[in-house]
Structure 1
C-alpha cells in the first residue's frame, strides 16, 4: 500500500479531520487522524495491518513472538497485526498513570515483541509502552505504526517501521499560527492531557 492508498482509506472512513486539535503529545495541529474510525471496519483494519506487516523486514517478522500495543489507540491495530503475523497480541494500559500488562496478559522472559501503535507523533507513549514491555520480561525488537507524524525525527530506541509518514505540522501552544490561535482546540484523542 502506498501513501495515497493509505490516505484514501482514511478519507473513505472520514478519519482525516481538519480544524484545531490538541494532540495527546500536548502539541496542536490543524489536522487529526482518527485511527479508531479508520480501524472500525474490520476489513479495512485487516488490509492496513497486512500492509504494515509487509513493511517489516523478513528477519524481524520471523523473530516476533508477541505483539503488544498501548491502550487505547493501539488495541485494534495491535490485534490485527497479531492476526497478520500469526502471533498472540496483547496490550498495556495505564490504570494508575503508568503502562503495565494486566487482564492476565504476561510475557515469557526474553519473548521477542513487536510494539504496535496507531499514530506516533513525539514517541512518548511508544517509549512508555516499550519500557513496560521490557519491565514485564519482553525484548522489544522493533516498533511499528500506521502513521509516523514525527517528520522522521522520532527515536524509540528500536527500529521503527511506519506504514506511512504524514507530516502535518504540529505546534507548541506558544507558537500557534494565528488561524489556530483564533479557534478553540478540540481534544479528540483518548488520553487525558496533563
Structure 2
C-alpha cells in the first residue's frame, strides 16, 4: 500500500486527506488486491481509526454528490473508493485553525486505478460522476446523523473548485435539492458550521 499527501491547487501540501494506492496483483485471470487492512491504515494515518458504517452509491454521468460533512457529536471521516466507473473526488478543508482552511484537493478515483481517498473529520466531501455510471463505496468513522449533517455549496466562488466542466459537455450537474441550495463557505463560517 502506498500513501501520499495531496496538494492544493496553489501547490500547498494539505495535512489530512491521503491518497491510498493498493498493491494490485494481476495476471490473465484478473486481479487481486487488499482493499482494507486495519493495521496498515492506522499506520498510514498515524492513529487508530474505527469505522461505524459502510455506504454504497450508484450515480449516472454528471451526478454531483456533496459537498457533505457532519459536525460534532457525530463527525465522519470517510475512506472513499470507486468500484465501477470513475469519479472526480473532492475534499475541502473546513478546519478554521488550519493553514489550508477553505482550500481543496481532488483526485480521480476509478475502478481501473483502485485508489482510495481518505477524507478525515474536518473536511467536506463531494464527487462528480465522470463515467456513464459509477459505484462508490466508502467507510465512515461515524454514524449518519440528520442533525449533524451539513452541505456546502458546490460552486461557491470562494472555494473555486474546478469540477472539470469539459467532462460535463457544458451541462449543469445533476444533484439533490439540498446540495444545490447549500450555503457557501462564508455563510457556514458565520453560522459556526465549521470545525475548530
Same fold (TM over 0.5): no
| TM superposition score normalised by structure 2 | 0.29
Report which of the two has the higher share of strand.
Answer: 2
